C-alpha cells in the first residue's frame, strides 16, 4: 500500500490535514510531521525515520513553505531518498507559489481551487486508480503474439543492417524500438538520443527518463507501451531529421504500426506528428486527441524540450494528466 507524507508550512496545516483525510479515505496511509514523533524523540530523527518508511512525498509549496526551514529539511531528506529510488516527490503549487530553482525540476501539480481534481491527480500519481485494463497490452493467443514478435524482430534485424540513408555511416547502433507486440499505446519520437545510439535501446537518455515519469502519470508501466522513433539511427549533434531520411526510414515505422496495431499513437514532437498528420501544428493541438479513422493520435511535445525549458515541462505534465483523464473513459475510443 502506498504511504504519503505531506510536508507543509504551519500556515497550510488545515489544507494538509484535508489532503491527509482524503488520502486516508482512499485507503492510503497518509501522515504529516507532527503525527510521526514518538514521545521524547528528536524532531529531525523523526522526519528521517518517517521519510524512510514512506513511498510518496507531497510538498504543499506555498510562499511560506519556501521560507520554512522544516519544509527545506523534509524536502532535502526526501531528495536524498528519491535519488536512491526509495520515494517519489510531488510538489503542489499552492497560493500562487513559484518553484524555487532546486525544486523546479520536479513535477508540480497546480492547485487552482479544484480540490477533487487535485485529489484525483494525487491518487493517480500513486497508482491508486482502477487499472485501465483496456489500454494495457491486448490479450492475444500465444501463437498470434509469437507471430507479431517474429515480425518485429525481423524489422529490427533489417534496421540494424540498413544502409538506405547516410545515417548508417554515423550510427553506433540502430535503435529499432522496444515494447510488447500487442501494445495498445505506441509512442513515437523523432530520433535516438546519444545513449540510445550507444545501447541500441530507445529512450534511455535524460529525455527518456522524463518520458518514463510522464508514462507513470497515465498509470501504465513503461514496459506496457511500445517505444520507437521515426528515424532508427541517430543524426549527429541532435540535428533535425531531413525529409529524405524520414522517407527512407518510414517503411520500418509503418510496418511496426501495422503489426502492433495500436489503438493510440502518441507522437512526441513536431516531426513525429508530421508523419501521421502532415498539416497539423503541434502548438495548436498538443494534448488534444485526434480521431483518425481506426486510431487515435495523441500529439505531445517531445520530452527533450522539457530538459531546457521549464515551460515545456509544465505543458507536458498537464497534457499527460489530461491524457489520463481521457483514458479513464473507454467511450472516448468509440
Ligand atoms: S535511419 Fe532508417 S533508413 Fe536511415 S540507415 Fe537508419 S534504419 Fe536505414
* Overall average pLDDT of the 304-318 stretch: 89
Residue 31: partners with Cβ closer than 8 Å, 6 or more residues away:
3, 4, 5, 6, 20, 50, 54
* Overall average pLDDT of the 63-83 stretch: 87
For residue 171, give the ligand 1 atom closest to its CA: 6
Regarding whether 279 and 160 lie in a shared domain, the answer is: yes
Regarding whether 236 and 208 lie in a shared domain, the answer is: yes
For residue 168, give the ligand 1 atom closest to its CA: 5
Is the C-beta atom of 89 inside 6 A of ligand 1?
Answer: no
Helix 43-52, helix 69-83: angle, nearest 10 = 30
What pLDDT shows up at residue 107? Answer: 77
Q: Which residue has the cell 496545516?
A: 13
Question: Is the predicted pLDDT of residue 169 greater than 90, yes or no?
Answer: yes
Choosing from 90, 109, 125, the residue where a domain stops is 125
Regarding whether 318 and 193 lie in a shared domain, the answer is: yes
Regarding whether 141 and 74 lie in a shared domain, the answer is: no
- Residue whose CA lies nearest to ligand 1 atom number 3: 249
Share of the chain above pLDDT 90, in %: 50
Is the C-beta atom of 233 inside 6 A of ligand 1?
Answer: yes
Q: What is the CATH number of the domain that holds 97?
A: 3.40.50.10140
Please give the distance, rounded to the nearest whole angstrom, from the Cα atom of residue 161 to the centre of ligand 1. Answer: 9
Please give the distance, rounded to the nearest whole angstrom, from the Cα atom of residue 44 to the centre of ligand 1. Answer: 56
319 within 8 A of 269, measured Cβ to Cβ: no
Q: The pTM is what? A: 0.67
- Residue whose CA lies nearest to ligand 1 atom number 6: 233
- Cα of 186 vs its chain's centroid, Å: 14
Q: What is the CATH number of the domain that holds 203?
A: 3.40.470.10
Regarding whether 198 and 69 lie in a shared domain, the answer is: no
Please give the distance, rounded to the nearest whole angstrom, from the Cα atom of residue 301 to the centre of ligand 1. Answer: 23
Regarding whether 119 and 86 lie in a shared domain, the answer is: yes
Rounded-to-5 percentages of helix, strand, coil across the chain: 50, 15, 35
Q: What is the tally of structural domains in the chain?
A: 2
Choosing from 108, 125, 142, the residue where a domain stops is 125
Regarding whether 50 and 8 lie in a shared domain, the answer is: yes
Helical (H) or strand (E) element with 196: helix 194-199
Query: Residue 63's domain spans which residues?
Result: 3-125
Residue 108's nearest CA partner among 125, 87, 127, 91 is 91
Choosing from 105, 125, 145, the residue where a domain stops is 125
Q: How many CB atoms lie within 10 A of CB 93?
A: 18
- State the average pLDDT for the chain: 88
Amino acid at each position: 500500500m502506498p504511504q504519503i507524507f505531506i510536508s507543509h508550512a504551519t500556515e497550510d496545516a488545515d489544507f494538509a490535514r484535508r489532503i491527509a483525510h482524503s488520502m486516508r479515505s482512499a485507503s492510503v496511509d497518509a501522515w504529516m510531521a507532527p503525527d510521526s514523533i514518538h514521545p521524547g524523540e528528536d524532531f529531525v530523527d523523526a522526519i528521517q525515520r518517517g521519510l524512510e518508511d514512506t513511498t510518496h512525498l507531497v510538498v504543499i509549496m506555498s510562499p511560506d513553505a519556501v521560507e520554512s526551514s522544516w519544509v527545506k529539511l523534509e524536502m532535502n531528506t526526501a531528495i536524498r531518498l528519491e535519488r536512491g529510488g526509495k520515494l517519489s516527490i510531488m510538489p503542489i503549487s499552492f497560493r500562487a507559489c513559484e518553484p524555487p530553482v532546486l525544486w523546479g525540476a520536479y513535477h508540480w501539480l497546480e492547485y487552482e481551487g479544484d480540490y477533487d481534481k487535485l485529489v484525483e491527480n494525487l491518487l493517480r500519481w500513486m497508482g491508486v486508480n482502477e487499472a485501465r485494463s483496456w489500454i494495457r497490452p491486448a490479450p492475444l493467443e500465444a501463437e498470434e503474439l509469437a507471430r507479431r514478435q517474429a515480425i518485429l524482430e525481423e524489422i529490427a534485424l533489417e534496421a540494424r543492417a540498413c544502409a538506405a540513408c547516410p545515417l548508417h555511416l554515423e550510427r553506433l547502433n540502430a535503435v529499432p524500438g522496444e515494447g510488447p507486440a500487442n501494445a495498445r499505446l505506441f509512442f513515437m519520437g523523432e530520433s535516438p538520443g546519444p545513449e540510445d545510439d550507444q545501447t541500441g535501446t530507445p529512450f534511455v537518455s535524460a529525455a527518456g527518463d522524463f518520458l518514463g515519469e510522464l508514462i507513470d502519470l497515465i498509470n501504465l508501466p513503461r514496459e506496457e507501451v511500445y517505444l520507437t522513433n521515426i528515424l532508427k539511427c541517430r543524426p549527429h549533434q541532435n540535428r533535425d531529421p531531413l525529409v529524405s531520411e524520414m522517407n527512407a526510414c518510414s517503411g520500418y515505422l509503418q510496418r511496426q504500426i501495422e503489426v502492433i496495431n495500436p489503438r493510440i499513437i502518441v507522437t512526441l514532437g513536431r516531426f513525429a506528428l508530421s508523419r501521421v498528420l502532415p498539416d497539423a501544428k503541434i502548438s495548436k493541438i498538443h494534448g488534444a486527441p485526434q480521431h483518425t479513422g481506426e486510431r487515435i493520435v495523441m500529439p505531445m511535445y517531445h520530452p527533450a524540450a522539457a530538459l531546457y525549458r521549464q515551460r515545456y515541462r509544465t505543458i507536458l505534465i498537464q497534457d499527460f494528466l489530461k491524457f489520463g483523464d481521457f483514458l479513464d473513459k473507454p467511450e472516448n475510443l468509440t
